[in-house]
Amino acid sequence: MGTSAVKAVEMSMEGGSPVLTGFGHVDVRPGEGPEVALRELLASGSFRSTRASMGVGGQSTVVRYLEMVRMSEAELRQAIPFELQSHLPFEVDEVTYDCQALELGSPMGQEDSAQDQKHDTMTVLLAACRKDLIEERLNWVQQEGLTPVAVNLDLFALANAWELAGPAPLLTHEDEVGDGDSEPSQHKIHTERAVALVDVGAGRTSINVLMAGETCFSREIPLGGMDMTQAIARRLGVEAVEAEALKCESDGPSAEVEAAMSPVIEDLAAELVLSIDYVEHHRGVQVAELLVSGGGLLVPGAVQHLELAVGRPAHLWSPLEGLRINAERVDMEDLERWASSLVVALGLAGKVAA
């Protein structure tokens, strides 16, 4: 359920692998809640499944990467309730939460300062969401006759989509020449390559940094395509609807539109650089590339602008390239147009279907 549109993807298992068998989108109209768009979307007849997996995000959610003493899963489940409150801006009984020990090594500082303690700590991923948000959304889908089967964070759905249909990471010169070297140098251990998934929506941008396919950092930044539209409206003195149309011109933005959007892209890049610097310093990984999804940077030239401002390779990726699609059940042209915005919904559906 995005700020600008509610999107849904239907995934079915066919011959042991997931296939996209339906999708849809309905804009959230100004002044209306997302439930209106959701109702319209589910009534559209695009879906056969009655099981629903939903995503949550925004200020009602919390994600933390905690350094804890190494322990079993059973011990972790006992320990977390005592840890929880200090990490939440809410009361414990207001949230639903879950946790999982990650496979990652300890953060660099700890490894450097105490080699022998390296295996005594572990990173625990903690995710929490306010119950009122979850209950509201469960009600919405149940009212449409669906059975909710899972709730996930949009941030993690992004990673699931990449796992399901993402492009292979770039191979750098260093990787190509480095393989024959069997000496496990300190440098190598500390510069594992990571990929940053960046979903630029209308109201927010999600970043999830994956190291060997596993999350090691994620965060939401309250900036997106809507901020670009507003900047255009202000600079050109036009209404938001007109600014949106100018932004989405198929032959690219005018110089003036580009100039209006530029500070927003620069601000977004600055936030991404903060996150990337943090994860590189803290985890000892090298963020080799940014894989961009969402509608926010579909303006021609916007990804290149971000790439320059962040100083890392950045590419738009389409989940359709790595996905089986039942072309008889979907409008392929519309699917291609919307592919970039469907990544989160795809990650939500794909995980449950599989």
Ligand X SMILES: Nc1ncnc2c1ncn2[C@@H]1O[C@H](COP(=O)(O)OP(=O)(O)OP(=O)(O)O)[C@@H](O)[C@H]1O
* Contacting ligand X within 200-229 (CB under 6 A): 201-204, 224-226, 229
The count of other CB atoms within 10 Å of the CB of residue 322 is 15
- The CB-of-218 to ligand X minimum distance in angstroms stands at 14
- The CB-of-74 to Mg ion minimum distance in angstroms stands at 36
Nearer Cβ to ligand X (105/253): 253
d(CA 161, CA 347) in angstroms, rounded, equals: 4
Query: What is the sign, positive or negative, of the torsion defined by CA atoms of 269, 271, 272, 274?
Result: positive
Please choose which of ligand X, Mg ion, none residue 286 contacts, taking the beta carbon within 5 to 8 angstroms, the exact cut-off set by kind.
none
35 near ligand X, rule: CB under 6 A: no
Torsion angle, alpha carbons of 10, 353, 218, 205, to 10: 0
Q: What is the DSSP string of 277-313?
A: HHHHHHH-EEEEEEEEESSTT-STTHHHHHHHHHTS-
Nearer Cβ to Mg ion (2/24): 2
Place of tokens 């699931």: 160
What are the φ/ψ torsions at residue 21 (nearest 5 degrees)?
-115, 0
22 near ligand X, rule: CB under 6 A: no
Residue type, 107: P
Q: What is the DSSP string of 54-108?
A: EEE-GGGEEEEEEEEE---HHHHHHHHHHHHGGG-SS-GGGEEEEEEE-S----H
3 near ligand X, rule: CB under 6 A: yes
Nearer Cβ to ligand X (6/288): 6
Helix 225-236 vs helix 255-283: crossing angle, to nearest 10: 150
Nearer Cβ to ligand X (134/202): 202
Do 209 and 287 form a contact (C-beta atoms < 8 A)? yes
* Helices (runs of H) and strands (runs of E) counted in the chain: 13, 13
- The CB-of-312 to ligand X minimum distance in angstroms stands at 21
Nearer Cβ to ligand X (285/309): 309
Please choose which of Mg ion, ligand X, none residue 21 contacts, taking the beta carbon within 5 to 8 angstroms, the exact cut-off set by kind.
none
- The CB-of-50 to ligand X minimum distance in angstroms stands at 24
Nearer Cβ to ligand X (60/341): 341
295 near ligand X, rule: CB under 6 A: yes
Candidates 114, 189, 245, 248: give the one binding ligand X (CB under 6 A): 248
Nearer Cβ to ligand X (25/283): 25
Total of chain residues touching ligand X, rule CB under 6 A: 21
d(CA 165, CA 343) in angstroms, rounded, equals: 9
- The CB-of-41 to ligand X minimum distance in angstroms stands at 13
Please choose which of Mg ion, ligand X, none residue 4 contacts, taking the beta carbon within 5 to 8 angstroms, the exact cut-off set by kind.
ligand X
Q: Where do contacts with Mg ion occur on this chain (CB under 5 A)?
A: 2, 201
Do 314 and 303 form a contact (C-beta atoms < 8 A)? yes
Residues that bind ligand X (CB under 6 A): 2-5, 201-204, 224-226, 229, 244, 247-248, 294-296, 298-299, 341
